[in-house]
Amino acid sequence: MVAAASVVAAVGTVTGMVSALDEGGGRDQARPKVTRSPTLEPLPAVPTPSASKSSAKPSPAKTSAKPRPKPEPKTSTQRPKEPRSAAPSADSLYRHGDSQVLDWVRANRSDPRRPLIESRIADRPAAVWFAEYAPETITSRVRAVTANAGSRVPVVVPYAIPDRDCGGASQGGAPDLAAYDAWIGKFAAGLGSGEVVVILEPDAIALSECLSAKQRTARYASLARAGRTLKAANPRARVYYDAGHSGWNNAAEQAGRLRAAGAASIASSDGIFTNVSNFHRTGAEAAYARKVLAALGGPAGLGAVIDTSRNGNGAPADGEWCDPAGRGLGESPTLRTGQARVDAYLWIKLPGESDGCKGAPGTFTPDYAYDLARG
C-alpha cells in the first residue's frame, strides 16, 4: 500500500484520539490494537481488557505514498433535498474521553510540550476506530461510544474488511466476507438511534489492486450490504465510502468503484470520504470530491467528508507518506464547512499517532504531535 494506501498506515492501540469539539463525555476504553498499520486505524471505543487490546484502534499511520487525486470540484452549490439523513443541525461533534493523546496529557502535566498538544490536539474531536476483529464484543464497544455521546455526534470507523491494506502495515480484519458481514451486523447493533457519522472501511475501495476481479466484486458487494445494514439499524447514521484522495485514482475510475460498492444508493450511502491519513490540502480534496460525486451520480444530496487532521501545510513534494516532516494540523473538525457538497471536515487519522517512522505504527508520538501542533 506504499503507493496507493492513504488511510491506514499505522494501526496503533485503540487509544487514538477521540475527543470532540464540544467537550465530551464518556471515558470508555476500547482501544485498538496496534496491528502494524496500513493507512488508518480505528480509535478507541469500548475497552477490551488491555490498552492494546481494545475495541477502538488508533488510526493507521500509512498515508499512501501515492496521493489520491482529487478532481476539480464540480461547481454545483445546490444541495438536493433527497431522502438522506438530515445533516446535524449544530456543530456538536463528540469528543471521546479515552485516547492515546489524552493518556499522554494526563501523565505528562509538567512536560513543556503538553499545553500545545492538549489545546490543539487533545481538546479536538476525532474519530473512534474499531480495527480489531472481535465479534463477541464489537456491539458493546460501539455502544459505549454512541451511548456516551449524548446529543453530540460521534464519528466511528469500522475497519475489519478481509485483506485490508493489501497485506501492508495495517493488515488484518475478518477471516472472510461472510464473517465480515456478520461483524458489521453486530457493529450496526451498537449504533443506537442518535446521529452518528460512519467512515466505512478506509482504503477498502481505493486500495484494492491486490484483489482479483472476482474478489473485488465480492468485496464491493459486501460493502454495499454493510452500508444498507448500518443505515437500516440506525436511519440517522450517515455512512460515507472510501474515495481515496486527490493524488490517487482519477475521479471517474474511483466513482466506478464506489458505484459498484453501493455508494450511489440512498439505501446504503450518504456520500464519500477523502484524504484519510493523508496530507492533501482541503481545497484540492473538496474539488476532487465534487468531481467524484458528479461522476458517481445518485441522489444530489450525497456529500463528502474530508480528513483535515494533518493537511495544514499540504502534502510533501516528494510524496513521502510516513510521518513526513513539516506537516501541520488542518481545519478543526466541524459539521459546517460552508462548501457545496462538503458535509464535514473531520479528524479521522489521529494527529500525533505515528505512521511507523517517528514511532511504532499507530502509537502516540509526542515529538511528532508537537511538530504538527506547531506547524
**Could you give phi then psi for residue 131, rounded to 5 degrees?**
-110, -5
Say which amino acid occupies 129: W
Cell 464547512 -> residue:
337
98: annotated active-site residue: no
Catalytic residue among 28, 103, 123, 165: 165
Q: What is the rounded CA–CA span in Å between residue 15 and residue 258?
A: 30
CB–CB of 31/44 below 8 Å?
A: yes
Measured N-to-C along each axis, helices 213-233 and 251-260 cross at an angle, to the nearest 10 degrees, of 70
Catalytic residue among 203, 242, 343, 371: 203
**Could you give phi then psi for residue 256, rounded to 5 degrees?**
-65, -40
Question: Residues with Cβ < 8 Å from 85, sequence gap 6 or more?
Answer: 195, 231, 235, 236, 237, 238, 270
203: annotated active-site residue: yes
DSSP annotation string for 270-292: SEEEE-TT----HHHHHHHHHHH
List b or e across 271-305, with b for residues whose CB sees 16 or more CB atoms inside 10 angstroms: bbbbbbbbbbbbebbbbbbbbbbbbbebbebbbbb
CB–CB of 98/47 below 8 Å?
A: yes
Catalytic residue among 123, 242, 270, 355: 355
Hey, which residues are catalytic here?
165, 203, 355
